[in-house]
Amino acid sequence: MKKVQVLLAILGMALLTVGFSALGAPLKIAIILPSSINDGEWSQGLYQDLLALVDEYGEDNLEVAYSENMWNIADADVAARDYAAEGYALIIGHGGQFGNILIEAARDFPGTSFAIGTDGTPFMAYGLANFFGYDASADEVGYVVGGLAARLSESGTVGLINPIQSGDVAGYEAGFTAGAKAANPNIEVLSVWTGSYSDSALASEAAQTMVAAGADILTGTSQAVVAAMGVARDNGALWFGMRINQSYLAPATVALSSVYDWKVCIRPMIESIRAGVLGGELYDLNLANGGLYVEVHEAALFGKTIQGIIDGSINSYP
């Protein structure tokens, strides 16, 4: 009898060690995205990081599904509940607009984990045992790149184009402005809130107005800012990317990117679920834990100077 008990104990420990794949079923994660997985910003970043986690854990241990362009909250609600009914272990609503529907879904599916972010903080107040939250301290990275923008700007004017003044977006704007003013008290920081995450025309119009006012460095957040980046490119201004490495969109324009590493908050959720704890934690991306970092893109920053040296228009040894 003792041998049987020992063998069972060893088997149980082995199953916990190797994870869900030992039972023939990977841990399944579903993400609800407001925009497309190739939006060049918000949704693309999370999707790419989830794929990286699949590579990290292995396809036998982790499976990812997604629903994109979920601008309609009712459609997002249906998708989330369908995933829960299908046995997904973790359902992530990528955007505070999904918070209320996921709170209700979490109550109806207590054996399923749900997560909301950014703006995860207020939803943790509900105290649900199967609910995670995540935020990003974007003020930190905003301060860093705002200071750099103030030092790089030749015109003394820089511009911010953002959607709605809330969450990490508001933090980025506040940090960028504070960093710019700390580096150059005389810098003019133009800031526009378009009121929309998806209206590319509004973002483009704001960028054109800022360029006309003399801004030579632009930045901003939301899925719509790719249009503003195009305005920067067409007018010889620099663009400071946000949330993902955006240099592939305009290599000669995107001087740097403030990158969100979503794996820093999703990985501990996975480990918590594997340990049997379905929620109750709020995670934050910040400079200290590597969830936020800056990538500098030399082609935009130094490309013209390098080309000038090559073609002789710049004398590097006068």
Instruction: Please write the tens of the pLDDT for every residue from 85-112.
Output: 999 999 999 999 999 999 999 999 999 9
Average pLDDT score over residue span 49-77 = 97
Average pLDDT over residues 169-194: 98
- Among 71, 122, 63, which Cα is nearest to 91's? 63
Q: Is residue 130 over pLDDT 60?
A: yes
pTM, entire model: 0.89
> Averaged over 115-143, what is the pLDDT?
96
Helix ranges restricted to H, the chain: 2-18, 42-57, 73-85, 99-108, 138-152, 167-183, 200-212, 225-234, 263-274, 298-311
Predicted local distance difference test score (pLDDT) of residue 302? 87
Does residue 26 carry a pLDDT above 60? yes
Q: What is the mean pLDDT of the chain?
A: 92
Give CA 286 to chain center in angstroms. 12
Query: pLDDT of 241-276, one tens digit each?
Result: 999 999 999 999 999 999 999 999 999 999 999 999
| Amino acid code (one letter) for 46 | L
Q: List the domains of the chain with CATH numbers.
A: 2-136+262-291 (3.40.50.2300), 138-260 (3.40.50.2300)
DSSP state for residue 89 in the 8-state scheme = S
As a whole number of angstroms, the distance between CA 175 and CA 140 comes to 6
Task: Please give the residue that has the higher pLDDT: either 5 or 49.
Answer: 49
Q: How far apart are the first and last CA of the chain?
A: 90
**90 or 20: which leads in pLDDT:** 90
Looking at the predicted structure, is the pLDDT value of residue 5 above 50?
Answer: no
Whether the predicted pLDDT of 175 surpasses 50: yes
Average pLDDT on 164-169 reads 93
Instruction: Give the total residue count for the chain.
Output: 318
The residues, any chain, with a CB within 8 Å of residue 304's CB and separated by 6 or more, are none
pLDDT of residue 24: 60
